[in-house]
Structure 1
Amino acid sequence: MEDKGGKISVLYVDDEENNLISFKATFRIKYKVYTAISGAKAIDIVKTKPIDIIITDQRMPGMTGVEFLEEIIKINPDSMRILLTGYTDMSAVIDAVNKGKIFHYLNKPWSEEELDETIQRAYDIYAEKKKILETYSKLEVSNEQLEFLLRQKLLS
């Protein structure tokens, strides 16, 4: 859901403020960037703002990245999810795929180019999925109208 200025909305969640500042400074011109210092604060943002792409750190106090993504699925299942972690924790990656339904996993520290490419690929899939869902919705309406007309014809 690009904003009216045509920018993709990206939420970056990390418990390290320096990472939030760095992310915003790097991507604020290209994307509509939101940042949150915790999963709880990020959930508040997702409830009030249209977010296309969510990027979260795995290791955070209070709520891990996977736990946060599990909650996000309940609120906004359509947004694309990316997990970042500075640790090679395969169980976290497996949980992220299975429970958090992530699109991609990246290691910290992130490379600007790699992260930018990942955001773009995630948005391409997000946009295509939205188009398919809109087409499906239109087809459902058309089908209902045709069924109604057929019933009317059969009753007359």
Structure 2
Amino acid sequence: MENTNISVLYVDDEENNLFSFKATFRLKYKVYTAISGAAAIDIVRKNHIDVIITDQRMPEMTGVEFLEEVIKIAPDPMRILLTGYTDMAAVVDAVNKGKIFHYLNKPWSEEELDQTIQRAYELYSERQKIVETNSKLEVSNEQLEFLLRQKLLS
């Protein structure tokens, strides 16, 4: 299922991994890549991103620290953490602080990562629909309250 309107940001300090990800998924998704958390934050500020995938072990800013920063500027994108190490403390931090959707081990398998992106986007879309519906309900509620006040005042 090709869905080039899904925007995916992949963050990794290893350039080969960025090339590999882009080569694998560029025809299927709108792919952004960043070599650091700081570069990724800049991309998130300037672009609409649906799914963020980040490596945990990076210099200057870990994946969890990056996700914590992203939540402050863009809380909506689904977040996926990758790590080549079975560092349970990092996973717990990712769940609690980075509010990740899913955790995957490196090296990633194309099929598993693709399925995870698809599931993340489905959940993202459902959440967006709920937010939109709530917004419409709030407007309707305000209009009804206004009409009721008018009725009571007349």
- What is the SS of the residue equivalent to 1:105? strand
Q: State the alpha-carbon separation in 1 of the partners of residues 82 and 56 from structure 2.
A: 6
Give the aligned partner of residue 152 of structure 2: 154
Structure 1: runs of 5+ lacking an equivalent: none
Task: Provide the residue aligned with 2:17 in structure 1.
Answer: 19
User: Where in structure 2 are the equivalents of 1:24-39 lying within 5 Å?
Assistant: 24-39=22-37
How many angstroms apart in 2 are the aligned matches of 1:105 and 1:6? 23
Asked whether 1:46 is paired with 2:44, we answer yes
Following superposition, the deviation at residue 7 of structure 1 comes to 1.7
Q: Distance in 2 between matches of 1:43 and 1:6?
A: 22
Cα deviation, residue 6, structure 1: 5.0
Aligned to 2:80: 82
SS in 1 for 2:57: coil
State the one-letter code of the partner of 1:107: N
Q: State the distance in 1 between where 2:12 and 2:131 align.
A: 31
Matches within 5 A, 1:124-139: 124-139=122-137
Distance 1:68 1:130, change over 3 A: same
Measured in 2, the distance between the counterparts of 1:131 and 1:6 equals 20
Residue 66 of structure 2 is aligned with which of 57, 65, 68? 68
Secondary structure of the 1:82 match is strand
SS at match of 1:33: strand
Name the Cα RMSD after superposition. Answer: 0.8
Q: Distance in 2 between matches of 1:50 and 1:15?
A: 22
CA distance in 1, matches of 2:81, 2:57: 10
Structure 1 runs (4+) deviating above 3 angstroms are none
Q: TM-score, normalised by structure 1?
A: 0.96
State the SS of the aligned residue for 1:88: coil
Secondary structure class of the residue paired with 2:42: helix
Q: Are the counterparts in 1 of residues 4 and 27 from structure 2 also a CA contact under 8 Å? A: no
Task: State the Cα distance separating 1:31 from its structure 2 match.
Answer: 0.1
Alignment pair present for 1:119 and 2:117? yes
Write the letter of the residue equivalent to 2:131: L
Separation of aligned partners in 2, 1:78 and 1:67: 17
TM-score (norm 2): 0.98
For 2:129 and 2:86, the matched residues in 1 are separated by 36
- What secondary structure is seen at the aligned counterpart in 1 of 2:104? strand
